[in-house]
Each structure stands twice: as C-alpha cells, then as structure tokens.
Structure 1
Amino acid sequence: MKTKYDYIILGAGASGLMLAYRMSNDSYFDDKSILIIDKEKDKGNDRTWCYWEEGNGEWDDLSARSWTKVFFGSHSFSKTIPIEPYSYKLIKSEQFYKTLWKRIESKPNFTFVQDSVDSFTELKNVVHVITGKANYFGLKLFNSSLNPVVYNLQDKYPLIHQHFVGWYVRTKEDSFDSSTATFMDFTVSQKGNTRFMYVLPMDKKTALFEYTLFSKNLLDNSEYEREIVRYLRDKNIMDYEIVEKEMGNIPMTSFKFSNLNSEHILNIGTAGGWTKASTGYTFKNTSEKTKQLIEFLKQESDLTKFHKKSKFSFYDLIFLDVLANHNAEGAGIFSSMFKKADIRTIFKFLDEDSSLLEDLKIVRAVPPKRFLQAFLKRLFK
C-alpha cells in the first residue's frame, strides 16, 4: 500500500471534503497524490447547514430550501423581515457528501482510507501520521479534527457553546408558513442564558425546530426536547410525528487556532478557527476559505502564512466577552441589533465584508454599556 503522499486530509466532513473537491476540480493538483483519512465515509444526514447569500451561489444545486424572509422574535421586538437581494439557504449534508464524493472518486490521484487517526507529527520536511492500521507521510497535512483541549485549558479567550437539539416534525394538516424561516425566537424562557428557537419550514407540513443556546454549560438531552415540545404546544401544534433528529455543539471562541498551524500542517474547518466565533456559522466561511487555500497552495509552501488578521476577530472577541460574562442579556442584545440595524448591514457585518461606516451602524445598534466595559477591559488588560 502507498504510504507517501503530497497532501493528506484528516477528516471527510464539510471542510476536508470541500478542500478535496476543490483540488479535484483544479488541474494544478492532477499530478499530486492526495490521501483522505476518516473513520467513516458514509456520514448520512448528520448535519444541516444554513447560510445567507446574495443572488445565485456555487451550492444552489444542492440547496434543499431557501427563504427570502426571516422572522426575528423577542418580547421587546418581533418582525418578519424581507432579506432580498439575500436569501437564506439550507443544505442537508447527505446530498452534499454524495455529490462531492462522486467527483473526488472520479480522480485517480485521490485515495480514501477508512481508519482512525492516533496522532500526527511534523518532522523536518514531512508530516508523519499514525493511524490504527498504518503509518503515512505527507508533504502537507490539513487537519479538520477538533481537539477541545487546546481551548478548554486556557482562560485568555472566552468560550461559550452553541448547543442544540433539533427535530424535523411532520404534521397531517398544513401548519407552517413555508415562505419564512425563523432566524431567532427569544420568546422562549431564557433561564439566565441566551436561548432561542430556530425554525426552518421545509414545506407547509414539515419543519425543523431547533432549540438552541449560546451558553457555557450544556443541558441534559431531555431538557432540549422538553422545550421543543413546549414550543410546539404554544404554537398549537399537537398532532405531529418526529421524522428525524439532530444535535450538535459548536465552540464559540476567539482562541487563536492559527497559532497551532506550522509550515507543513494547517488546521481547517472548526479546528482551524473557520467557525465565525460570534455566531457559530461555519459552512459559508469554509467555502470561501477553501477557495482561498487552493490559490494559496499554488503560490506558497509555508502554511503559517495562510491566516490573515482582520478587525473582525477583535469584534468577535468583544462580543463573546459580553455573552460569556452577561449570558442572560443575549436576547436584549440581539433584539436591539435587529430592531435598529438594517438586515443587509447585519449580514455584511457577519460576513466580515462591512465597511467601517457599516461597522459603526452595528456598534450603535447594540446596548453600549456592556460592550464599552468589555472593550476597556481588553484595551487595558
């Protein structure tokens, strides 16, 4: 069996598979040997990815649903908001995986090994990967396997979790407004945290209800599900069946994952800090980062040079400081922002594509006290 490769990709989730897919579509990599290692290949529908986008996009053929209106709800402000020219798009992971694998498997220079990774070590000019069954060597390694220890054992940067349980439910009668996605509904009991319901109607009879928290501590699974039942009851949805479940926990932290990169090793996806620290959104950022990485690899060999600093990292840090230290105030913060700022400005800001003037509009839209306190504390820390 071949053991030496030009590139090794650890993990065949969204980031690893997307990187491999982009390599398979670029002739520059046709003479490069590429190994993908994961303990499982067929992951099924293990994820639902959503993102907003202006106009048509690269992944539209894989989008299962899209919406041009979103609902934001809280006790102080509620509104159905048109978001055109943006649309909010949903991709279910099973079709995404199948489509990308079909292309990757058509290229003879790609190899997949189903195995678990025990460790990887950077040597002088190569990376050594030890799996349960073999040893491999790669000139460059891209790691998408998140190691929570690296950010749990530090206190320089705040850490909260975006954790959730979701039910796809189906009703016998038309029960949902399929034209509108519920972006955040903070009318659920907050219980000292930042808690909301996220609702994605697939059609008039089927919808995903996801009970979501931004908080430090996780809940027992029964509590998430109890809150979904309560929310459905409050919406007078009593007769339904659960057709699918999902759950997840996304770290929201400004920890500098890029510091873990080296000349021959690049961490990607959530493991590389590609998750937007202040929102937990990953898919769109991963799509952009993998595009950039393909072009980078054609020009550079030192992977430490891939990461670029930006003002948005500092914005995320301040926001997470506030949410971590004043978790019960999250509903008020988001309500103020969605009430006072234009939705298109919010999207541009969260996409890290906003101008300084647009940044200031967001700053003016949130309650100033906590953010000023967090800013001054960081400034003089």
Structure 2
Amino acid sequence: MPNYDYIIIGAGAAGLLLADALGKDKFFASKSILVIDKDDKSKNDRTWCFWERGNGPFDDLIHKTWDNIYVGGQQLQKSTPIAPYTYKMLRGIDFYNHFLPKVKAYPNITWVQEEVTHIEEQENEVWVTTPSQTHTGKKVFSSLYDASIPLGQKEFPVLQQHFLGWFVKTEEPVFNPDEVTFMDFTIPQKGNTRFMYVLPISDTEALVEYTLFSEHLLEKTEYEEAIKNYIKEKYNNTQYTIVETEFGSIPMTCYPFHQHNTDHIFHIGVAGGWAKPSTGYTFYNTSQQVPKLVRHLKAGKPLSKFHQKSRFLFYDMLLLDILYENNHLGHDIFESMFKRRKASLILKFLENETNLWEELKIVTAPKPMPFIRALFKRLF
C-alpha cells in the first residue's frame, strides 16, 4: 500500500488551498502528500462569492467585483454602497485552472483522480480506499460531507441553503452591472425564506439564482419556474439564452462537526463546519481557516485540538432556531436588518468581525420576540 504523511481527500476550495499551503511551505518539503478527487476539475461547477476590505489574495482570479448591493422586500427597495467592502465573484474553473497546476507541480505532492470509497482509522495511520487500491496516511484531511451525521440528531437544527442558478445572456440590456441583487424577497415566499440573487457581469449577462433557506429541497422544475417568472416580471419579459447552469445545497447548522476530528482524521470545508451557519458562505472562511490549520500543524499540536469557539456561533444558532421553527420569518428578519442598519455593518457582522456594541445594534434591528423566545428555549 502506498504510504503518505498527509492525504487530502477532495480538491475543492479547502482541499486545494490546503495542498497549496503545504506544497509551498519549506517546513513540509520532506512530507509526502497525496491529493485525491473523483473529478478532473475541468468544469465551471460552482461560483464562490465573498466580500472583503481592499485587496485580497485572490484578486488576480476574480471574475467581477461590485461596490453596491440591492436588497428588496415587501417594505424595502434599497440600493446601497458597501464600502469599505467589495463584493467579489470567483468562478470555480478559474480557481481550479490556477491552483491545480501549482499543486501538481510540487515535487512532494501526488495527484490521483479516483473516488474514495472507504476511510478507516487504524492505531497510528489511516487507510484510504479507492476502487483501484488502498493508500495509508499518517494524517488525513477529508472534505467528504456525510449529511446523515447532522441529520441524525435533534439538538442542532439543520436547514439547507439550496439554489439553482442560470447564467443568462439577454438580447436587450436589462441588468445593472454595478450592483449585486443580494436578496430580493419580492417573490412568493410559500411559507419559507426564499429570495432571488443576481450577479450581473454586464448589462446583458448575469447569474440569476433562486435561493432558499429551508429544510427540504424542491423539485428542479420549481426552481426553474421561479427563475423564469422573475426574469419575466423583473426584466420585462426580455428574451434570453441560458449559457450555464449550477445547483448547490449547503448545510446551515451549528452542529459541532469538529467533535468527529481525531489526531489522524481531520474534516475540512463544509464537512468540517467551515460554512457560516446563518448564511452558507464558505469560501472566505475557508481561506481564513487554512493558514490557521497550517500553523497548528507546524506547532506539532494534535489535530483534535484545532477548534476555536466564537460568540458568533451563538448568534447563528438563534437565527437557525427561529428559521427552523418559523421558516417564513426569514424575509422579515433580513429586511429589518437592511432597513435599519448600514449594509457595511451587516456584512461586518456576518464576517464575525464586529464588537459587542455593533452586535447589539444588529440584533436589535429585527422584531425582538422571536429572538427572545429562541434564547429562552436554547437556555432552558
């Protein structure tokens, strides 16, 4: 059996960023590293968006940026700047085309395109099995997400941020390329938290996405009909061509995924709980977690001890408790926040960067009773 110091399972954002961080650091030059993924990463299978202040490490790969967002609802139609933040869009294919050749070029990294069928921890190593062979690793970093784990418990509610998006090209200029439609709740809510999300690349090109924060997925046709109706009503029934499609579902939960980490198996990305529970945003947090994990490894600390507690997890938990019990309240909560508070402050809060005084301003923006009930239920 081929033996490695480190095995990274999954070459998404978390896997490739970790592989690149290890590959370029001289500290790990003597370590043998295996990266396994079932795909060749040649398709534009996802779009990552995030906001940050000023310049960032991925700016050369960014497909489009915006300085303004729009939030719409029953009592709110608000276009607003988000300075000092910039909203950034990174296409999956551009990320893969940049990082995959870099990772494959490191002399101590081996790339294998196969599906992992089994992971088994032994006393001092881990067996990672694919259809063709079994590899052994002293430490395994896995991005394989097992939905049955959080769904098998009741203490922490599990919702999904699920979405279907169409990259469309219209015959007439209908989009505002200077502004992201961050959340448009003017669509029928049907007892859920549902909104449209629009990323305009030009005045005739955009990603139009139908997004829900809810417990269950929909039939594909329901997402598609919602997008059709939105384009018809919002953009005057303009004629368009669908260039690409994407679909995704991200778990929204405060379940402590880190409790499944051992000193030999460590979960990364969504599987490690790196998605922001209240929004589903994952990429930016992943880019922050990877350097911390690398420093942890260099310090020789046990993998099972890599975990940081945060008060923001409690805020996330209260919101998810509310949406799990009363999913229809989502639009009212988010509308109230954007109506009464600056967008830049809300984004700062959602990035876990606010102080206690700023957090008090945020949590007092929506109607208080749902949060008070959730707080008492969680405490008692």
TM-score, with length taken from structure 2? 0.98
Deviation at 1:162, TM superposition (A): 0.7
- Counterpart position of 1:146: 145
Q: Deviations over 1:307-340 (max 9, x none)?
A: 1111111111111000111101111000001111
Residue aligned with 2:212, SS:
strand
- Counterpart position of 1:356: 356
Q: Deviations over 1:64-100 (max 9, x none)?
A: 0000000000011120010112110000000101100
- Counterpart position of 2:159: 160
Change (3 A) 1:272 1:43: farther
- Counterpart position of 2:127: 128
Structure 1: how far apart are the matches of 2:315 and 2:167?
34
Deviation at 1:299, TM superposition (A): 0.2
Deviation at 1:303, TM superposition (A): 0.5
Contact 1:175 1:237 in 2 (8 A): no
Question: Percent of counterpart pairs with the same letter?
Answer: 47
- Counterpart position of 2:379: 379
Structure 1 position 36 matched with structure 2 position 35: yes
Letter in 1 for 2:204: K
Q: Deviations over 1:25-66 (max 9, x none)?
A: 211111111001111122410000000111000001000000
Deviation at 1:361, TM superposition (A): 0.9
Residue aligned with 2:242, SS:
strand
- Counterpart position of 2:114: 115
- Counterpart position of 1:271: 271
Structure 2: how far apart are the matches of 1:192 and 1:233?
23
- Counterpart position of 1:63: 62
Structure 2: how far apart are the matches of 1:141 and 1:299?
17
Letter in 1 for 2:354: S
Higher alpha-carbon deviation: 85-94 or 21-30: 21-30
- Counterpart position of 2:259: 259
- Counterpart position of 2:98: 99
Structure 2: how far apart are the matches of 1:90 and 1:52?
9
- Counterpart position of 2:212: 213
Q: Deviations over 1:123-176 (max 9, x none)?
A: 222111122111111111100010011011111111111111100110122221
Contact 2:159 2:253 in 1 (8 A): yes
Residue aligned with 1:262, SS:
coil
Structure 1 position 330 matched with structure 2 position 330: yes
Structure 1 outlier segments of 4+, above 4 Å: none
Structure 1: how far apart are the matches of 2:6 and 2:279?
31
Deviation at 1:260, TM superposition (A): 0.6
Deviation at 1:11, TM superposition (A): 0.6
Q: Which runs of 5+ in 2 are unaligned?
A: none
- Counterpart position of 1:288: 288
Letter in 1 for 2:238: M
Higher alpha-carbon deviation: 189-198 or 41-50: 41-50
- Counterpart position of 1:72: 71
- Counterpart position of 1:10: 9
Structure 2: how far apart are the matches of 1:298 and 1:84?
36
Deviation at 1:348, TM superposition (A): 1.6
Higher alpha-carbon deviation: 117-126 or 368-377: 117-126
Structure 2: how far apart are the matches of 1:33 and 1:41?
21
Contact 1:263 1:301 in 2 (8 A): no
Structure 1 position 308 matched with structure 2 position 316: no
Deviation at 1:243, TM superposition (A): 0.6
Structure 2: how far apart are the matches of 1:43 and 1:72?
34
Contact 2:68 2:79 in 1 (8 A): yes
- Counterpart position of 1:21: 20
Structure 1: how far apart are the matches of 2:313 and 2:94?
32
Structure 2: how far apart are the matches of 1:361 and 1:188?
28
Residue aligned with 2:105, SS:
coil
Residue aligned with 1:345, SS:
helix
- Counterpart position of 1:229: 228
Aligned length: 379
- Counterpart position of 1:203: 202
Structure 1: how far apart are the matches of 2:352 and 2:84?
18
Letter in 1 for 2:60: D
Q: Deviations over 1:284-310 (max 9, x none)?
A: 000000111111110034101111111
Structure 1: how far apart are the matches of 2:281 and 2:175?
25
Letter in 2 for 1:133: S
Structure 1 position 49 matched with structure 2 position 82: no
Residue aligned with 2:296, SS:
helix
TM-score, with length taken from structure 1? 0.98
Contact 2:171 2:238 in 1 (8 A): no
Deviation at 1:13, TM superposition (A): 1.1
Structure 1: how far apart are the matches of 2:99 and 2:203?
30
Contact 2:172 2:238 in 1 (8 A): no
Residue aligned with 1:105, SS:
helix
Structure 2: how far apart are the matches of 1:79 and 1:313?
28
Contact 1:12 1:41 in 2 (8 A): no
